[in-house]
Amino acid sequence: MQGRASTGACAGRGTATPGSADNPLRVAVIGSGPSGFYTSEALLRAPLYTEVDMFERLPVPYGLVRSGVAPDHPKLKQVIEVFAKIAASPDFNFFGNVTVGRDVTVETLQDCYHALIFACGAETNRELGIPGEDLPGSYTATEFVGWYNGHPEYRDKSFDLSHPVAVVIGQGNVAADVSRILAKPCGDLERTDIAHHALDALRKSNITDIYVVGRRGPAQAKFTAKELREFSELKYCRPVVRPQELLLNAESQVELADKSNLGSRKVYELFQNFSTLPPCRGVRKRVHFAFLKGPVELCGAYKVQGVKLEINTLTGPPFRQSAVGTGKFIEIEAGIVFRSVGYRGVPISGLPFDRHQGIIPNTDGRIIDMQGKPLPGLYVSGWIKRGPTGIIGTNRSDSVATVTSVLDDLPELSTRGHKPGTSALTKHLDRAGLRYVNFSDWHEIDRSEVERGTAVGKPREKYTRIDEMLRLLNRPGNSGKRFVRVKVR
């Protein structure tokens, strides 16, 4: 990080353009996942005086890196080291256990900061809109991923893994994560940071066959090759593809021949490899990839007993092909279904929301009203800005683009008057009696989780309840770190 000397001066009260030593640009970043941290990094690197306060509804940071990235993908979590360096900046504060829209309103934040940047991701899932979707035994990938990753909101969910067949609807990387966790031997999961309640349940799982179903063809599957390849590396497990499912129409052949589509070509080649794997002894589980099958109903009287799928065909030009039903149907008998058809953002009280796309409407990161007019001082970055696409690193350029908009708007932001920043916000939270969590507190939780993990041979054993985390922080020995340290300038 670039770093910048602290000023030691008090914040000015004038309406001069923010960003000077006596009138730093004060920004609230809402959300502590990749887009929140990359946004903070871009702000702190800007050639002006900036203070960043980050708000997170959980007492712990890192969003989907902590509670979305699969436990058997530790390398993807190494980005946390980069985020921790950003958090170490003297111009950065973390306010965990604070829900914006409930504990503090958008209006209060606007009174305290020149700009608010919402980087709160896409917290919920898209719906299929088919009969039976709400039957017991039908779950969203979001719930399952949150559960095995120990997210407090999902830790008390239970999943009936007693039937030998599971169906995963969708063919993106989240579907790959869900299927792999179901297929992987528990011996290979027990040295990861998977939540212990999930590991206990997976140990008792009877699932032997996992069907991963795509509504379009193998050329349109959204897996990345790296994630798909892992299915051929799983112990006691076989990826299965029927060769006749790999036949391509002319448009799909054009797609795969296109130079820009190397990733899909690699994915298709992996499916070809899977379809020619010779029989093998010792296989206990199979992951079946099925294409051109759209879910039309989850069947069952009181709980899921199967999935009815319509055989699809593709229509439209290359790269814009969509699935249409043929009127022919098949049914897969199954005891559990995971709907992994993409995430969706949720509305925030006081902000506009595009229900169709599940994002906050914006132009270049500037939140806009129904008439398309930018709302001064309000911005978005990450999934809530562009929708749930891309890998962790994609959020970096996205966040830099939003911060560029903020910096371009500096003269406009100066008209929003004096913004007291951290000190006023802290007073507000104290008056509300809120137990907010700072980054030293997080280090305390982190240390304790790593210690608990070491004791059982795991990299960490996460706390999965908010009250457990707060109890740890409120232990007598930790009382000195109770409140956020407000920077003295």
Residues engaged in binding ligand NAP (CB under 6 A): 126, 128, 169-175, 177, 214-216, 220, 222, 227, 294-295, 340-343, 388-391
Report in angstroms how near the CB of residue 49 gets to ligand NAP at its nearest. 35
Position of minimal CB gap to ligand NAP? 172
> Which residue type sits at 283?
V
Q: How far is the CB of 175 from ligand NAP (least distance, A)?
A: 6
- Select 220 or 362, whichever has its Cβ closest to ligand NAP: 220
By beta-carbon proximity to ligand NAP, the closer residue of 189 and 437 is: 189
**Residue 386 has which token pair?**
């562009």
Q: Which is nearer to ligand NAP, 31 or 172 (CB)?
A: 172
Q: Which strands sit side by side in the sheet containing 336-339, from one edge to the other? A: 138-140, 336-339, 165-169, 209-213, 285-290, 237-240
Q: What is the DSSP letter of 11?
A: P
Q: At residue 161, what is the residue type? A: L
Residue whose CB is less far from ligand NAP, 109 or 174: 174
Whichever of 76 and 424 has its CB closer to ligand NAP, that residue is 76
**Do residues 153 and 146 touch, judged by C-beta distance below 8 A?**
yes
Work out how close the CB of 392 gets to ligand NAP at its nearest, in angstroms, rounded to a whole number.
Answer: 7
DSSP label of 148: H
Q: Which of 248, 164, 150 is nearest to 195 (CA)?
A: 150
Listed in sequence order, the DSSP H helices in 456-487 are: 466-473
Annotate 383-441 with DSSP letters as a single string: HHHH-S-S-TTHHHHHHHHHHHHHHHTHHHHHTT----THHHHHHHHHHTT---B-HHH
As measured in angstroms, the least distance from the Cβ of 230 to ligand NAP is 9
Helices within 128-279 (DSSP H only): 141-148, 173-183, 186-189, 196-203, 225-229, 250-257, 262-275
CB of residue 258 vs ligand NAP: minimum separation in angstroms? 17
Choice between 216 and 385, CB closer to ligand NAP: 216
Shortest Å, Cβ 80 to ligand NAP: 15
- For the bound state, the minimum distance from the C-beta of residue 227 to ligand NAP, rounded and expressed in Å, comes to 5
DSSP 326: E
- Give residue for tokens 């890192």: 62
Least distance from ligand NAP to the Cβ atom of residue 207, Å: 20
When the beta carbons of 173 and 414 are compared against ligand NAP, the nearer one is 173
Segments in 16-75 forming alpha helices (H): 34-45, 63-67
List, in sequence order, the alpha helices (H) in 246-350. Answer: 250-257, 262-275
- Whose Cβ is closer to ligand NAP: residue 19's or residue 146's? 146
- Taking the complex as a whole, the smallest distance from the CB of residue 141 to ligand NAP amounts, in Å, to 7
Sign, CA dihedral 476-477-479-482, equals: negative
Quote the CA–CA distance of 479 and 133 in Å, as a whole number. 47
Q: Of 8 and 129, which has the nearer Cβ to ligand NAP?
A: 129
